[in-house]
Chains A and B, each alone.
Chain A
Amino acid sequence: MQNQPVAVDNPLPPSPNPPSSSTVKPTELRRDVSIWGSFTWGYADVGADVYVALGLVIGAAQGAAPLAFLVAGIVYILVGLAHTELAAAYPVSGGGQYYTLRGLGDFIGLITGAALLLDYTICISLFAVASAGYINFFFPVIQTYSTSIGPFKDVNLIWAAESLSLIGLLALLNIRGIRESSLFNELIGATDMILETIVVLFGFLFAWKPAMVVTQYNTAFPTTEKFFYAVSVAIISYVGLESISQAAQETRRPASIIPRTSIALIIVVLLFALSFPVLALGILPWDTIAKREGDPVAALAHEIPYIGFLAGHVAAILGATIVLISANTGVMGASRLTYSMGEFQLVSPWFNAVHKKYHTPVRSIIFFCGIAAIQAIFAFLSGKGAMDMLVNMYAFGATLAYLLVFVAFIALRNKDPHAPRPYKVPLNIRAFGMELPVLAIIGLIATGGMLGIVLWTHPLGRIAGPGWVIFWMIAYCLYRKKNKLPLLGNIKRDWEKDHIAILTSAEEFEYLEQYKMALEKKAVTRG
């Protein structure tokens, strides 16, 4: 049984026997995420992208950095619109994994889930490390500290310990429940957005020189390979939208709220993602920013009149907070995604256990925070190369997952036309007896191209990324074989019944009635 809705106030009594793989009855996640909470889950990744990726993108794209962000932004809009439609139509916690499972079957659902899990665990480790790095702005001694452990040189043990502590803190916070971590996101998200807006406004008003942007574009255009590398790094901000989908099952009235938060996020993402590189290249030479890969926003803010004297401190606080909530988004995403995959018997139901007191998927949280901690340890043991590996794998996971989501999107439009779609991506045509969403087809081609770019420009991504997916495929095959479930086929599911349960649970009664009427009409048509 899938997605059996159970009121939170009336949870299922504990089963006297451990549930078998086919009789899992999970307690439903609490619906505590508000509009602002839903938005800030996604926004966390956007802000983090600016703090972590701005220097990297400008370093590679040089004077063409705004163009690199724009190219990535166009693909991002297409991905965003598809996710908006799907998250509103299917407000469950699986996100891309659920859409591909429903549209393309169990095995593809597993691959998408594995790609997204890769992104979420790296999100935790990468941004926890970055957050600790920004905290160390106030403790320069720690920044310069290093030691040797056996064959590993220049290991910053204190920074590593800080990062691991942050991962542990986030794990505890998420085990306590989504209400607490959502509130955490909401407050920090709001503060960060205000502060980023001040930087942008003051920057454009008092320090920005348009001629400098044009000059740098004309004189410092990168090579083709560097430009595409920059585009693929800029793409990491996509994961923000997936986070909104991941929180769908805990969002109040998701079908009504998610289209708004998702579309708002697309617009806000573009505003910030395009503003910062344009602003940066109008204030500083590209190579100056490139040299400040660790704190490009601080370097930028330092040049702005009135607020420049506070630049270092403000940027450090901003950086530490926004990347920390991004890491928190990773914890939430990984645990919710595994919860969904467990429900659908793509991974062991062992992950499904919900904390008796807090109703949160405690095992998933601990497991993936543990993996993130291991990734962070490897990062510190390997130096800068490990950070590159994390970014490489991040880009691989995102583009693979979004490619499969576009295929599922097109399939679901035709396989499940009766599901109410509170938001529908425009530009659709009928041909060959099918509904063809033009923008999704363009998005499919674009993300396919992006995946090609990632494999071309990220040597580690093309090895470690597929390696991770193959690992989960092997685990999937072993689990399905052990439980005598189809390996490449699908478990039979009553999607219509599940969908009614989802909409009922979400209290989306308008869409529920629409769906019931559509099903009745379908039944009459079929006689």
Chain B
Amino acid sequence: MSLEISLLGALISLFFILVLSGTLWWMLHPHAFVTQAAAKARQSVLAVKKIMVPTVGLPHTERSVELACRLGRKQMAEIYLIYILEVPRTMPLGVPLSDAEKEAEAALERATQIVLLHNLPMQKLIHRARVAGDDIAKLAKDMEMDMIVLGIQEEAGSHIDPLNKTANAILKIASCEVIIDKLPSS
């Protein structure tokens, strides 16, 4: 018996078997079973749609921006970058603080670059307050945040991180979920 194999026929056969086997393999490998408790935990994190991240422009607060972005990436959470300008009670809130504002804008700009790398929606805000912690907690409530992610660093030597006292205030007052990312003193 002489056989003629057409090139097109061979290609169709190859296509047929590849598509068939690939389809069946994909079908037979669904994701693993999830218990109700695990599902509840997963969904409660996926429900976090608005994350506030206070920053002061230091490396550990920028790291907290990255952490917040990773927490919110799957559900495309909106990231709210906030820089609190603490104004001493000896001065009016509206006092010109051009150098501090420039520093705040620069800090928010760096944080913005991190958020943009994750393609997440974002907003940024510079806000003046007497006490940062109280103000962050109040803003979070007013803006209906689901979570606050705050980076702090252990106090070491002469350098004092202003967010440490802020962290205490937020933990006491905030009505939403709070994640404190505390780095050891380097």
| A interface residues, Cβ below 8 angstroms from B | 35-36, 39, 197, 200-201, 204-206, 208-210, 253, 256-257, 260-261, 263-264, 267-268, 271, 275, 278, 282, 305, 507, 509-510, 512-514, 517
B6-36 contact mask (Cβ, 8 Å, vs A): 1 or 0: 1011101100110110011011101101111
Q: List 5 A-B contacts (CB under 8 A).
A: A35-B30, A275-B12, A305-B3, A509-B35, A514-B43
Report Cα–Cα, A16/B17, bound state, in Å.
58
- Closest A residue to B10 using CB positions: A205
Report Cα–Cα, A352/B99, bound state, in Å.
78
- Closest A residue to B47 using CB positions: A517
Q: A205-B5, A256-B31, A271-B19 are in contact. Are A264 and B24 (CB under 8 A)?
A: yes
| B interface residues, Cβ below 8 angstroms from A | 1, 3, 5-6, 8-10, 12-13, 16-17, 19-20, 23-24, 26-28, 30-31, 33-36, 38-40, 42-44, 46-47
Taking a contact as CB atoms under 8 Å apart, the answer to whether B6 and A257 are in contact is no
Instruction: Kindly list chain B residues whose C-beta atoms are within 8 Å of the C-beta of A209.
Output: 6
Report Cα–Cα, A33/B39, bound state, in Å.
23
Taking a contact as CB atoms under 8 Å apart, the answer to whether A264 and B23 are in contact is yes
- B88 CB to closest chain A CB (Å) equals 39
Instruction: Kindly list chain B residues whose C-beta atoms are within 8 Å of the C-beta of A200.
Output: 13, 16
| The residue from A257, A282, A509 contacting B34, defined by CB atoms under 8 A apart | A509
Report Cα–Cα, A517/B49, bound state, in Å.
12
Q: A35-B27, A36-B28, A39-B27 are in contact. Are A253 and B8 (CB under 8 A)?
A: no
- A277 CB to closest chain B CB (Å) equals 13
Taking a contact as CB atoms under 8 Å apart, the answer to whether A512 and B36 are in contact is yes
Taking a contact as CB atoms under 8 Å apart, the answer to whether B20 and A271 are in contact is yes
Instruction: Kindly list chain B residues whose C-beta atoms are within 8 Å of the C-beta of A205.
Output: 5, 9-10, 13
Report Cα–Cα, A257/B29, bound state, in Å.
9
Q: A39-B27, A253-B33, A513-B40 are in contact. Are A204 and B10 (CB under 8 A)?
A: yes
Taking a contact as CB atoms under 8 Å apart, the answer to whether B5 and A510 are in contact is no
- A41 CB to closest chain B CB (Å) equals 13
Taking a contact as CB atoms under 8 Å apart, the answer to whether B3 and A264 are in contact is no
Report Cα–Cα, A201/B9, bound state, in Å.
9
Report Cα–Cα, A268/B27, bound state, in Å.
11
Report Cα–Cα, A124/B47, bound state, in Å.
47
Report Cα–Cα, A324/B9, bound state, in Å.
31
Q: Which 10 pairs between the two chains have the least Cβ-Cβ distance? A: A509-B39, A513-B43, A264-B27, A509-B36, A204-B9, A208-B9, A510-B39, A204-B13, A260-B27, A267-B23
Instruction: Kindly list chain A residues whose C-beta atoms are within 8 Å of the C-beta of B38.
Output: 509
Report Cα–Cα, A507/B34, bound state, in Å.
8
- B74 CB to closest chain A CB (Å) equals 13
Instruction: Kindly list chain A residues whose C-beta atoms are within 8 Å of the C-beta of B42.
Output: 510, 513
Instruction: Kindly list chain A residues whose C-beta atoms are within 8 Å of the C-beta of B47.
Output: 517
- B4 CB to closest chain A CB (Å) equals 8
Report Cα–Cα, A261/B19, bound state, in Å.
15
